[in-house]
Amino acid sequence: MVCEACSAVQKTPSKRWLAEIEEIYRDYAAYSLADGAEQLVLDPITASPAKRSDVLVKKLIGSIDFPDTGRALDVGCGHGVTMAALSVVFPNWRFNGYELGEGNLPVLQKIKNFEFLYTGALTAIDSKFDLISMIHSLEHFVDPISTLCELREIVGHEGRLFVEVCNVQENPFDLLVADHLMHFSPVSLRYALNRAGFSTECESTTWVKKELSFVAIQGREENFAYSKNGSSEVERISASVAWLVKLVELARVVAQENRPFGIFGTSIAATWLSTALSGEVDFFVDEDPHRIGRNYLGKEVIGPDEVPESAVVFLALAPTLADAIARRLADYPFELISPPPI
């Protein structure tokens, strides 16, 4: 659904959707293919794979001045990769996490200066924090503005809220993620933060490709204005859905050629495309050493060096990211197939 007033894009939190995400979260394990090792993203400076948390923390401290001491809360902390990265650059800070359960507590307790893991309602947290981070977690909440309002109450007077989410305007694959309720654009995220009583201090679409990085402080922006462009957003989302259909059609044609066929990546896009192709995939290609050599969806995960020269590898990626990957892998002897433009 697309809101005609603020252009927000979201799924419908129906009883069926709520039941499905409850099933997903019951046994959820982040980065399970890599035994919890963090996903790699493309570092915009080096154009090489790097841990997302390292890239984000480097950009964060380069954009905002933080005190030497403070307390941080990572909402949706998982295995604590963000807290671990922050603990390196903030050695005198104390770190806290928030999660649905305590399953990762033994791992979190190994992080330097780890303090506490909160579970349950956000409204039950009775502390203030100098930095609250939400790295790919806001889109999972059923009522994101209420969640942001609850976080506003525990952000310190000069504290910051750091939100990282997918940018639906650059990444159509975000629409496919079952447990993502919201699909943010720069406009809708800025609007949600303002409605919850925050103003944007720093925002970027380039810290990580196809993602939004927003740092906000308490205080609603005066004279905040947004453009009512819901109709154009409907057109944009419709084009994204049509592109996903076209992507499958192109991949199916390539997969039926008499050559070994692989998909680049082992994340959301590659998983969906492999399923859509109904077993026509021979292998997956990944640059993450934690994933190479494993089996995924019944197929081997290999590195670029192991791809047969006669093979064709389909880049199941958003076009902006696919272009960068294609340039980096251009010298390999196998053929790369890029996705069509949106």
Q: Model confidence over 73-91: pLDDT tens digits?
A: 999 999 999 999 999 999 9
Question: What pLDDT sits at residue 15?
Answer: 95
Question: What pLDDT sits at residue 45?
Answer: 63
**Per-domain residue ranges for the chain?**
9-218, 231-337
* Top-confidence residue, 139 or 328: 139
Q: Which residues contact 4 (CB under 8 A, 6 or more apart)?
A: 228, 230, 231
- Look at the block and give the residue holding tokens 């159509």: 172
Distances (CA, A) of 114 to 58, 76, 133: 20, 15, 15
Phi then psi dihedrals of residue 93, to 5 deg: -90, 165
Q: What token pair was written down for 55?
A: 């890239």
* Interatomic CA distance for residues 210 and 234, integer angstroms: 19
Helix axes of 186-195 and 144-152: crossing angle, nearest 10 degrees: 50
Question: What pLDDT sits at residue 221?
Answer: 77
Task: Give the confidence band of 230 by pLDDT, cuts at 50, 70, 90.
Answer: low
Query: Counting every residue, how long is the chain?
Result: 342
Are domains 9-218 and 231-337 of this chain identical in fold? yes
Question: What pLDDT sits at residue 310?
Answer: 96
Q: Model confidence over 121-178: pLDDT tens digits?
A: 999 999 999 999 999 999 999 999 999 999 999 999 899 999 999 999 999 999 999 9
In the chain, count of helices (H) and strands (E)? Answer: 9, 17
Type of residue numbered 118: Y
Task: Give the confidence band of 245 by pLDDT, cuts at 50, 70, 90.
Answer: very high
The yes-or-no verdict on residue 29 having pLDDT over 80 is no
Report DSSP state, residue 2. B
Distances (CA, A) of 305 to 250, 257, 293, 295, 308: 25, 22, 12, 17, 8
Question: What pLDDT sits at residue 320?
Answer: 82
Question: What pLDDT sits at residue 304?
Answer: 96
Query: For 215, how many CA atoms within 13 A lie in the half-sphere containing its CB?
Result: 19
Task: Give the confidence band of 254 by pLDDT, cuts at 50, 70, 90.
Answer: very high
Q: What token pair was written down for 214?
A: 């927003």
Mean pLDDT over all residues of the chain?
91
- Superfamily (CATH) of domain 9-218: Vaccinia Virus protein VP39 (3.40.50.150)
Mean pLDDT (whole number) for 200-205: 95
Concatenating the DSSP letter of every residue in 198-235 gives: EEEEEEESSSSTTEEEEEEEESPPTT------HHHHHH
Question: What pLDDT sits at residue 174?
Answer: 95
The yes-or-no verdict on residue 229 having pLDDT over 80 is no
- 9 within 8 A of 229, measured Cβ to Cβ: no
The yes-or-no verdict on residue 31 having pLDDT over 70 is no
Q: Model confidence over 289-306: pLDDT tens digits?
A: 989 999 999 999 999 999
pTM of the model: 0.89
Question: What pLDDT sits at residue 5?
Answer: 79
- 329 within 8 A of 283, measured Cβ to Cβ: no
Q: Model confidence over 32-58: pLDDT tens digits?
A: 565 556 777 767 666 677 889 999 999
The yes-or-no verdict on residue 227 having pLDDT over 70 is no
CB atoms within 10 A of CB 129: 22
Mean pLDDT (whole number) for 234-243: 94
The yes-or-no verdict on residue 223 having pLDDT over 90 is no
231-337 in CATH: which number? 3.40.50.20
